[in-house]
Structure 1
């Protein structure tokens, strides 16, 4: 599918933020690892959350779903034997379930359905940690296909690198409470996206799991022989996807309201509200409602992107139209996502006429308040965050933009284009 984005001067309207993908996938896994029946209310509907639904069902969980909730009977510590698992293009789902698969009494192979995206992403840091736990792993230099030969994972002292992704640590935190032995996890080097680790610790606590974490989140003590409680979970609104809507409102003349965005959320991407404020955008955030009254005029700034990883691209797209030079630093982990979200994304912005530079862990944006020339067809690199951010750029491109493979936005936000169009964005969707 192609998205043809035409210059749009004004956006107006109200939408309900979609449910959080990150919380949905975590709650689904908690429910599967529990003995008993749990309920997840207002789950996200996206390719990633659908991948987790599919995989936990394959592993033996029983799911019943209606419009507002999923009821899940978990498999606890005993997932059923399964030869293959298909996680689609969902990196977090793959990494979380690599540890869960270690509980299976048979070999489990994670297949490679997206060789040009997830198939290129590295997982060696998690593999090395699992091998310390008596789990044998067959792999392609750390990449898919990956076969887990588990059955008897052991706790104890475990080290894992946090340099590439916090998802490796989260994966171990889901598994280790179920093991017979107590565990101690030490994070080596650095830990990316600490805020997202905080989300993992938050949901584990909700499920009745006890974990002692150091203040810097680099050391953990996990008692063994724990069990996940069967509970009811309510999924909050999603900041990463909403960041693109808020950026779109910021770069146009607008009056846009988003509901279900909790001011006290632990989602790091909540910081996108503060980033836009720092850029001079007029907005309010109270009672779970964000209202943007945009003028299209923004000021450049400097921002630590590690605090809001999945909102960085949307904020970069806003900065493209700011007065002055913006800098987003501490963002190297963007290189290890569905695509290289630094090099690949900036190459596409340049095609549209943006003046952007990259460093290994930085994005530098020389703003063009007059707008971009556009008039080109650009590559989405199979990446939902790239698609959303390029759509924002298209709103201020004189000749518009054509985004290829735009259907991949469904990975996290299937309703994105519907929501944008409902607010007045001039976007046409065509089958290629």
Structure 2
């Protein structure tokens, strides 16, 4: 399905932020790794979180759900000996479960999205798992991947943090269950440190002890630990809300989003500060963000590693800012569902934006007068690209058609419903 985004000068309304995908997937996993019954309130409903639901059920967890919560009886350190797992297009779910399935004799992760997740590299995690005695068959670091584990021991592990923090998070879920103590040293740089902070927060809530250095580059993990069955409440999601906030910023607006905690450990909370620096009129208090946009924005320079999953939405806002904006320290965007620098900027140019790329930077020469639009653009099956391009469409002079926009369901199935509720002129079209 495609979406037609028509020029929309004004947005107004009040919505609830969807629940956090990142926290939901982590809570589902720690609940599955516990022996006993855990409850997760207000879980996210997205392709990623649904993939985690499906896979933990395949691995032996009991999963019961109603409109408010999921009740999970876990498999602890004894997952079922399944032969195959299908994570769909969910990279984080794949990476987290590559470590967990080291507790199984042999599991193959199948490749059902060869043009998206199937292109993404996992070599750094494969190398780390081999250091603790896990055999891995793979296709040049990519899917399909077969994990032959059964009896990993723990010990000293070195893992690169250059491409993704998900490799480190994956090991942090597994190592507390191993019979030996473990030490993890992160090599090179560590991308998206704030997301590692979310992993550590969830592990602590699950009763797991991990000794992390202040710079998050070294870890000591006592072995023979057990996950505790707990009750968890999922907070509102900043990465998805970033696009709605950007849409409010580039239009005349009075938009309120609820359930966005001021002290959240989600790095994308920084998008509120980015918009403030761009002179967007907004207030943030009591878990509520209110934007009274006037369509006028000021350019700025921003370290994108602090809000990785909000960068594309903020770039979309910067397209209409006065002056030149620079988003730096973002090379890891190249290793997502698509190359979120080259592929995204190619589509922005089609719409009429003036943008440049560097290896780890996006430069935006703002066009406060708006962009031409009137084109069909390719979102490369990437939910973040779809949402960001829709923001640009609101301020285009002619409609923009976004191909395969149904892939927004990977993280935010209700995204276009929420935009419509705020007054955006968007409509689904058969592709």
Tell me the TM-score normalised to structure 2 length: 1.00
Deviation at 1:154, TM superposition (A): 1.4
Q: Note if 1:300 corresponds to 2:299.
A: yes
**Deviation digits for residues 386-409 of structure 1 (CA, Å, limit 9, x no counterpart):** 000000000000012000000000
Match of 2:422 in 1: 423
CA drift of 1:431 comes to: 1.6
Please report how far the alpha carbon of residue 276 of structure 1 lies from its aligned counterpart in structure 2 after TM superposition.
Answer: 0.2
What secondary structure, in the 3-state scheme, does the structure 1 residue paired with 2:397 have? coil
Report the secondary structure of 1:398's partner residue. strand
Distance 1:141 1:174 in 2: 25
Shift of 1:193: 0.2
Q: Describe how 1:53-68 pairs up with structure 2 within 5 A.
A: 53-68=53-68
Q: Please say if 1:284 is aligned against 2:283.
A: yes
Which structure 2 residue ranges, 5 or more long, are not aligned? Answer: none
- In the alignment, the residues of structure 1 paired with residue 399 and residue 4 of structure 2 have an alpha-carbon distance, to the nearest angstrom, of 7
Q: What is the Cα deviation at residue 279 of structure 1?
A: 0.1
SS of the residue corresponding to residue 339 of structure 1 reads coil
Secondary structure in structure 1 of the residue aligned to 2:309: helix
| Residue 179 of structure 2 is aligned to residue 180 of structure 1 | yes
The CA distance in 2 between the partners of 1:28 and 1:148, in whole Å, is 21
Please report how far the alpha carbon of residue 266 of structure 1 lies from its aligned counterpart in structure 2 after TM superposition.
0.2
Does 1:250 find its partner at 2:249?
yes
The C-alpha deviation readout for 1:101-156, integer Å capped at 9, x for no partner, is 0001x210000000000000000000000000100000000000000000011111
Distance 2:168 2:140 in 1: 20
Q: Which residue of 1 aligns with 2:204?
A: 205
Note the 1:358-377 alignment, pairs <5 A. Answer: 358-377=357-376
Aligned-pair RMSD on alpha carbons?
Answer: 0.3
Off by >3 Å, runs of 4+ in structure 1: none
Q: Which residue of 2 aligns with 1:9?
A: 9
Gaps of 5+ in 1: none
Q: Check if 1:86 corresponds to 2:83.
A: no
Alpha-carbon displacement from aligned partner over 1:242-273 (angstroms, at most 9, x marks no partner): 00000000000000000000001000000000
Distance in 1, matches of 2:399 and 2:186, equals 45
Structure 2 Cα separation of the partners of residues 429 and 372 of structure 1 = 22
Aligned partners of 2:81 and 2:305: how far apart in 1?
Answer: 38
CA–CA separation in structure 2 for the residues paired with 1:201 and 1:431: 43
Q: Secondary structure of the residue that 1:13 maps to in structure 2?
A: strand
- For residues 276-302 of structure 1, give each alpha carbon's deviation from its aligned partner in whole angstroms, at most 9, with x where no partner exists: 000000000000000000000000000
Superposition pairs of residues 324-339 of structure 1, within 5 angstroms: 324-339=323-338
Is structure 2 residue 29 aligned with structure 1 residue 29? yes
CA distance, structure 1, for counterparts of residue 263 and residue 189 of structure 2 = 26
CA distance, structure 2, for counterparts of residue 78 and residue 20 of structure 1: 28
Q: How many residues align structurally?
A: 431
